[in-house]
Amino acid sequence: MAHEILVVGSTALDTVETAHGRVTDALGGSAFFFAAAAARLAPVALVGVVGEDFPLERLDPLRSLGVDLDGLEVAPGRTFRWGGRYHEDMMGRDTLFTELGVFESFAPRIPAAARRRPVLFLANIQPRLQLDVLDQMEGSPLVVTDTMNLWIDTALADLRRVIARSHILIVNDEEARQLTGTRSLLGAARALQAMGPATVVVKKGEHGALLAGPDGLFAAPALPLERVVDPTGAGDTFAGGFVGSLAREMRVDGPALRRAVVRGSALASFSVEAFSLDRLLAVTPAELDARLRDFVALTDFTLD
Amino acid sequence: MAHEILVVGSTALDTVETAHGRVTDALGGSAFFFAAAAARLAPVALVGVVGEDFPLERLDPLRSLGVDLDGLEVAPGRTFRWGGRYHEDMMGRDTLFTELGVFESFAPRIPAAARRRPVLFLANIQPRLQLDVLDQMEGSPLVVTDTMNLWIDTALADLRRVIARSHILIVNDEEARQLTGTRSLLGAARALQAMGPATVVVKKGEHGALLAGPDGLFAAPALPLERVVDPTGAGDTFAGGFVGSLAREMRVDGPALRRAVVRGSALASFSVEAFSLDRLLAVTPAELDARLRDFVALTDFTLD
C-alpha cells in the first residue's frame, strides 16, 4: 500500500547537447522526469499537455511503470520543445530555443478520479496555474511545490500564495537565495519556512540537498559520479524520488523526510547517467537498492 | 595517550576585512590555525618563523592548549603579513597585500626532540621546504600534506615529489581539479590517489568534504551556519581537527578517517564564527562535544 500521487507539470520534447553527445526531441519536462522516478515507489497520475505531433507510443515505458496518463491532454498544435547546450564542465548551460507550443495556453484540468489523490506535486509551472490546480483538489492533499527563477522574477505575488498553501517546498540554492534575499542557505531555508511550508528542501546539484524540517536540519550529499552525461531533469527526478518515498511510507515525520531525500538523491544519480529518461526508465529495483546502500556507505560514521 | 604531532607551516599577522568588521595584525597563518585545532585532540609541536616585531605574548593561549613552540624561530626582520578583503557573499576575496618578511627566507629547522614525532603535517609552504622537512624527520611518520594553487603553478615537480611521499593529501576542490585536470571531484580524488597518497581529502568549503580512503568514499557536509564572520583559516582548522583526531586515536583505518573528517568539520565551523583564532581558542570541550552531536543529527538517517 502507498498513497497515490498526482503530478501537474510540463511535458516536453528536449533537444540537448552535452560533452557526451546530443539527443533530439527526447522525452523531457518536469512531469515526465518526476513521474518516472516517483512511480518506482508509489502510484502516480500525471496531468499535462502535449501537441498532436507528440509520439504517444514513447510513453509506453511510463505506462509500464504504472503511470496513469488519463490526464495528459493532447491539444491541437505543437508540443512544448526546449533546446539547450551544456558547458564543458556541466555547471552552466545555454538555452538554444524555447517553443512553448500548446504549453502556452495550458489550463490544467484535473480528472475527477484524480482530485482526491492524497499527495499533490506541483511541478514548475506558472504559479497562477498551480493555484488553479490547488482549487480543483478535493480533500486535503499533502502539497509539495517546485518553482523556478522565471516566476520569482515575473509572478512573485502568486508564487507566494502557492508557497503559503504548500506543506513542503523544493527549490534549488539559487532560487532559495533569490526568493529570500538571503545568502546563507540556512537563513534562506528558515525564511522560506516562515512563508508557510513546515518543510523546505534546498537542492544543491552536485553538492546534495539540505532539508529543514520538523526534526531540524538534514544534509545529504549527492553521490559522487565520475561521468555525468546529461544533468537535465535531475531536480525533477530528485523531487519524484522524494515525494514517491513519502507516499510509499504514508508518513511525513522527520525520519521519513530524511529517507525521502536519500531516495530522491539516489534516483537523481541514475538520471544524469544518460540523456532524457533513458537511464531512469531502465533502473531495476536491485539497482536502486544497491545505490541506496552506496548512500549509506558514503555517509556512515560513528563518533566512538 | 595520543600520538604527538609536528606541524610546519606559515605563522603570520593577518589584516582581514569582511562584512562583519575588520581586524589588524591578528594571529594568522596555516600553522597557528592548525595547531589551535589539533591541540584540542593531541599534543602539537609547531615549527615556523616570525620576525622580531612579533608580539610573542599573543601566543599564550596556544601555549595554554599545550602547543610546543620551541620550534618557532624569531628571525631578524618583520613578520609575514597578509591582508585580504572578503566579498559581501564570503565566496571570494581580494588579497590587499602580502609582505613575506622573514618568511621569504624560511628554512625550517626541526628541533631534535621533534624529529621523531609519529605524525607530521606539512601545511601549505614551498614544496622544496616540505621536502627538506621530510628529509629531516627520523622514523616513519604518518605524513599529511596540504598545498595551494601557487605551488601547482610554480613548483609542480617538487610538489609531486611531496605528494608521492605523503600518506594523506588534503586539498580544496579547485586545487584537486587543477592538480589533475579533472572536473569530476571523484575523478580528481582517484587521480590524486594514483600519485601516491592512499587517502585524499577534498575540502569543499560550505559544501563540506569528500574523503577517498581505504574503505571507499565518505562525504561530510559542512555545518550550515547563518553567520560566517571570517572564513580565513577554515581549511587549516579542518586539517588540525582531522590530523588531531587521527593522532588521538592512533589509527588511520576507515572509521577513524571518517571521524577525523567530522572532527575537522566541527572545529572549522567554530573557526569561521569570529576573526582570526578568537573563537577557536575559546572553544570548550563541552561545546566541541555538542557540535559533534549536531553533526550526527545533521547527517543521520536509516533506510528502514
A287 pLDDT higher than 90: yes
Establish, for the pair of chains A and B, how many residue pairs have beta carbons separated by less than 8 Å. 104
- B225 at A interface, C-beta within 8 A: yes
Q: A90 or B68: whose pLDDT is higher?
A: B68
Report yes or no: B159 and B151 within 8 Å, Cβ to Cβ.
yes
pLDDT tier at B194, thresholds 50, 70, 90? very high
The reply to whether residue B258 touches residue A303, judged by beta carbons under 8 angstroms, is no
B266 in contact with A, Cβ within 8 Å:
no
User: Mean pLDDT for chain B?
Assistant: 96
Mean pLDDT across chain A: 96
Q: Are A145 and A137 a contacting pair, CB within 8 Å?
A: no
Residue B25 above 80 pLDDT? yes
- DSSP letter for each residue of chain B: ----EEEE---EEEEEEETTEEEEEEEESHHHHHHHHHTTTS-EEEEEEEETT--GGGGHHHHHTT-EEEEEEEESSPPPEEEEEE-TTSS-EEEEEEE-GGGGG------GGGTT-SEEEE-SS-HHHHHHHHHH--S--EEEEE--HHHHHH-HHHHHHHHHT-SEEEEEHHHHHHHHT-SSHHHHHHHHHHTS-SEEEEE-GGG-EEEEETTEEEEEPPPP-S--S--TTHHHHHHHHHHHHHHHHT--SHHHHHHHHHHHHHHHHHHTTSSTTHHHHH--HHHHHHHHHHHHHHH-----
Per-residue pLDDT band at A2 (split at 50, 70, 90): confident
Query: Which chain A positions have a beta carbon within 8 Å of B184's beta carbon?
Result: 224-228
Residues of A in contact with B296 (CB under 8 A): 303
For A155-164, how does the pLDDT look when each residue is reduced to its tens digit (9 = 90+)? 999 999 999 9
Give the residue-averaged pLDDT of A51-67: 97
Q: pTM, whole model, 2 decimals?
A: 0.94
pLDDT of residue B92: 87
Residue B200 has pLDDT above 90, yes or no: yes
Please tell me if residue A256 touches chain B, with a CB cutoff of 8 Å: no
Residue A213 pLDDT greater than 80, yes or no: yes
pLDDT for res A6: 98
Distance from CA of A183 to the nearest CA of B (A): 7
* pLDDT computed for residue A1 by the predictor: 72
* Integer Cα distance of A157 and A155 in angstroms: 6
Question: A255 falls in which pLDDT band (50, 70, 90)?
Answer: very high
Mean pLDDT of A150-154: 94
Which residue in A236, A253, A278, A300 is the catalytic one?
A236
**Does the residue B304 lie in any domain?**
no
Cβ-based contacts of A208 with chain B (< 8 Å): 207, 219, 221
Model pLDDT, residue B62? 97
Residue B91 has pLDDT above 80, yes or no: no
ipTM for this prediction: 0.91
> B89: how many CB neighbours lie within 10 A of its CB?
11
- Chain B residues touching A220 at Cβ < 8 A: 221, 299, 301
Q: Position B40: which residue type?
A: R
At residue A201, the pLDDT reads 98
Q: For residue A304, what pLDDT band results from cuts at 50, 70 and 90?
A: confident
Stretch among A73-77, A192-196, A211-215, B162-166 having the lowest mean pLDDT:
A211-215
Instruction: Name chain A contacts of B210, Cβ cutoff 8 Å.
Output: 221, 224
pLDDT tens column, A38-54: 999 999 999 999 999 99
Taking the C-alpha atoms of residue A295 and residue A264, their distance in angstroms, rounded to an integer, is 11
Q: What is the mean pLDDT of residues B120-133?
A: 97
Per-residue pLDDT of A230-243, as tens digits, reads: 999 999 999 999 99
B89 is a catalytic site residue: no
pLDDT at B89 over 90: no
Residue A91 has pLDDT above 80, yes or no: no
Confidence of residue B68 (pLDDT cuts 50, 70, 90): very high
Q: For chain A, how many structural domains are there in total?
A: 1
pLDDT at A269: 97
Percent of chain A residues past pLDDT 90, beyond the cut? 95
Q: Quick check: B304 pLDDT over 90? A: no
- B228 to chain A, any CB pair closer than 8 A? The answer is yes
Determine contact: B297 vs chain A, CB below 8 A: yes
Asked if residues A155 and A128 have their Cβ atoms less than 8 Å apart, the reply is: yes
pLDDT of residue A88: 83
Q: Is residue B15 part of a domain?
A: yes
Chain B CB within 8 Å of residue A92 CB = no
Question: In terms of CA atoms, which chain A residue is nearest residue B229?
Answer: A184
pLDDT digits (tens, 9 = 90+) for B275-303: 999 999 999 999 999 999 999 999 999 99
* Out of A157-171, A214-228, B114-128, least confident range: A214-228
Structural domain of residue B35, as residue ranges? 5-299
Of the pLDDT bands very low, low, confident and very high (cuts 50, 70, 90), residue B270 is very high
Q: What average pLDDT does range B22-33 have in this prediction?
A: 97
Over residues B266-275, the mean pLDDT reads 97
Q: For B157, how many CA atoms within 13 A lie in the half-sphere containing its CB?
A: 0
Once rounded to an integer, what is the mean pLDDT over residues A283-299?
Answer: 96
Q: Residue A288: give its domain's CATH number.
A: 3.40.1190.20
Is the predicted pLDDT of residue B39 greater than 80, yes or no? yes
pLDDT digit string, tens, across residues A181-199: 998 999 999 999 999 999 9
Q: Report yes or no: B302 at the A interface, CB cutoff 8 Å.
A: yes
pLDDT band at A254 (very low <50, low <70, confident <90, very high): very high
Looking at chain A, the whole-number percentage of residues with pLDDT higher than 70 is 100
Residue A304 domain flag: no
Comparing CB atoms, the residue among A184, A297, A302 nearest residue B225 is: A184
pLDDT tens-digit map of B207-226: 999 999 988 999 999 999 98
pLDDT of residue A126: 96
Mean pLDDT of B79-92: 90
